[in-house]
């Protein structure tokens, strides 16, 4: 069975001649377990027949069974699911790097569609859609309770058509956003110079990412032979293909491990390594991350941090540390299973599932973001009730005051504070050497912390 790689594959096939000893106890247990399974499958058939016979309107058997398959898989974790033939084709278009739609990376949380991040240069990005926004309706039709695939299908369509999505966002009333569909061609890499230092942004990990990033860096080097270092921006990068994560990390590493993935069997470990050759020839690097950096982006950031190739600036990443294998059914004619088959681990052996990658220098992008970090738990992998736990049983860092935030007088609309701090780190030589800014002082966080320390409840904010 051919398996399509979304973020990695962990599969072993036993030949027909394989033999195994089955003890008498096991022989007695297996039929008993199978009998229970067959009884439950019979129950499923009974329920389907009853719905067909007695539901208030005519039903579509195919739609019901596909929904049941998806429900079974999504009950395992937020990233497993059933892809119908159309959805499987859409997924293949996405990983190839070109498709039609609005440019939003989404997931599902208890029947609600939630934004992981908008994609650079897309209608959603230009309209100001944010990570953590809920999409509650499309063209006035509620998408509550729909699967992600069903909701996405409503948002995709012919380029040039207008789509209205209803957004629910914390601290605001629900509002409508009108977007015009485009053929989405995510930019594989964006490059420029920031003074003496190069800047490269990677918006995602599709089939073109490694080659495009390599070409962008080589172009910067050719035009700026005295370039002193590089800022590598992985903010709001939702991830993608595992082989591209390995390829991108490989550009900067002189061999050694990039990532390992481990399945149900503790001995089932697959390691992906880099090859010799650093495209920057040892020039210093800083990687920018934030809460929208997920999956493949976290693999790269974690590898460069663990291997001491780069220091990280920004805020803690999303925390998606699991590997999904996409398994076509009957060659894709019956769709595909998207199944979580392993966790991935950074070179030092860290599982970042739920916990995320913590930066070496924590920097909030805005004063409002610093206030939010200090007063609430941000949307992340840990927000999902059925998310896999970190292998070590670690938990994500809770609400806290970040190390740095824009000082008074900094123009947040014109300038990129996290980028400015990344450049300061490069100029100083390290996070340790860069002059630190005064720690921000979110007022509500101070009151809450004092109340908690006193064993009481924080005061209720009046509006």
Pairing of β 336-345 and β 81-83: antiparallel
Tokens for 122, please give them.
Answer: 């897309």
How many whole angstroms separate alpha carbon 338 and alpha carbon 6? 9
DSSP 178-208: EEE-EEE---S-EEEEETTEEEEE---B-TT
CB 165 within 8 A of CB 155: yes
**Does 36 participate in catalysis according to the annotation?**
no
CB-based burial label for 154 (10 Å; 0-12, 13-18, 19+):
middle
Per the residue annotation, which of 320, 322, 354, 372 is the catalytic one? Answer: 320
First-to-last C-alpha distance (Å) of the chain: 59
CB 297 within 8 A of CB 342: no
How many whole angstroms separate alpha carbon 127 and alpha carbon 168? 14
Count CA atoms closer than 13 A to 430's CA, side-chain side.
5
**Does 320 participate in catalysis according to the annotation?**
yes
CB 71 within 8 A of CB 47: no
Identify the bridge partners of residue 182 per DSSP, sorted by sequence position. Answer: 101
**Does 306 participate in catalysis according to the annotation?**
yes
Per the residue annotation, which of 114, 306, 338, 372 is the catalytic one? Answer: 306
- The answer for residues whose C-beta is within 8 angstroms of residue 376's C-beta and 6 or more apart is 399
Strand extents, DSSP E, 24-138:
81-83, 99-101, 104-109, 112-118, 134-138
Per the residue annotation, which of 117, 295, 317, 380 is the catalytic one? Answer: 295
Residues with a known catalytic role: 295, 306, 320
């Amino acid at each position: 069975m051919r398996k399509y790689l979304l973020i990695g594959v962990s599969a072993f096939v036993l030949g027909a001649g394989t033999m195994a000893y089955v003890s008498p106890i096991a022989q007695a247990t297996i039929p008993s377990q199978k009998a229970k399974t067959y009884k439950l499958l019979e129950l499923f058939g009974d329920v389907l027949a009853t719905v067909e016979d007695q539901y208030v309107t005519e039903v579509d058997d195919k739609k019901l069974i596909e929904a049941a398959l998806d429900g079974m898989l999504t009950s395992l974790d937020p990233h497993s699911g059933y892809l119908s033939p159309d959805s499987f084709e859409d997924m293949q278009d996405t990983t190839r790097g070109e498709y039609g739609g609005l440019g939003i990376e989404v997931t599902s949380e208890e029947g609600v569609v939630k934004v992981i991040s908008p994609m650079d240069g897309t209608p959603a990005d230009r309209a100001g859609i944010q990570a953590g926004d809920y999409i509650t309706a499309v063209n006035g039709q509620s998408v509550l309770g729909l699967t992600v695939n069903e909701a996405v299908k409503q948002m995709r369509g012919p380029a040039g058509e207008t789509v209205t999505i209803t957004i629910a966002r914390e601290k605001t009333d629900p509002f409508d956003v009108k977007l015009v569909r485009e053929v989405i061609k995510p930019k594989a890499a964006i490059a420029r110079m920031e003074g003496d230092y190069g800047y490269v942004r990677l918006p995602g990990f599709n089939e073109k990412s490694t080659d495009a990033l390599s070409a962008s860096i080589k172009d910067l080097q050719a035009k700026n032979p005295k370039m002193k270092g590089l800022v590598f921006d992985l903010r709001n990068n939702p991830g993608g293909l595992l082989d591209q994560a390995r390829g991108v990390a490989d550009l900067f590493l002189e061999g050694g491990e990039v990532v390992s993935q481990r399945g149900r069997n503790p001995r089932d470990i697959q390691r992906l390594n880099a090859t010799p050759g650093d495209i920057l020839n040892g020039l210093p690097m800083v990687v920018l991350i934030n809460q929208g950096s997920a999956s493949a982006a976290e693999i790269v950031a974690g590898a460069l941090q663990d291997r001491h190739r780069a220091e990280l600036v920004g805020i803690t990443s999303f925390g998606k540390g699991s590997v999904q294998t996409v398994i076509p059914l009957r060659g894709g004619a019956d769709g595909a299973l998207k199944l979580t088959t392993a966790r991935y681990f950074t070179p030092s052996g860290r599982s970042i599932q739920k916990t995320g990658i913590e930066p070496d220098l924590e920097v909030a992008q805005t004063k409002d973001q610093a206030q939010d970090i200090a007063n609430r738990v941000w949307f992340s992998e840990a927000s999902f009730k059925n998310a896999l736990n970190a292998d070590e049983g670690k938990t994500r860092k809770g609400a806290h005051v970040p190390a740095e935030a824009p000082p008074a007088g900094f123009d947040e609309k014109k300038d990129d504070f996290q980028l400015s701090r990344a450049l300061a780190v490069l100029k100083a030589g390290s996070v340790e050497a860069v002059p630190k800014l005064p720690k921000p002082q979110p007022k509500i966080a101070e009151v809450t912390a004092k109340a908690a320390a006193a064993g009481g409840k924080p005061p209720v904010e009046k509006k």
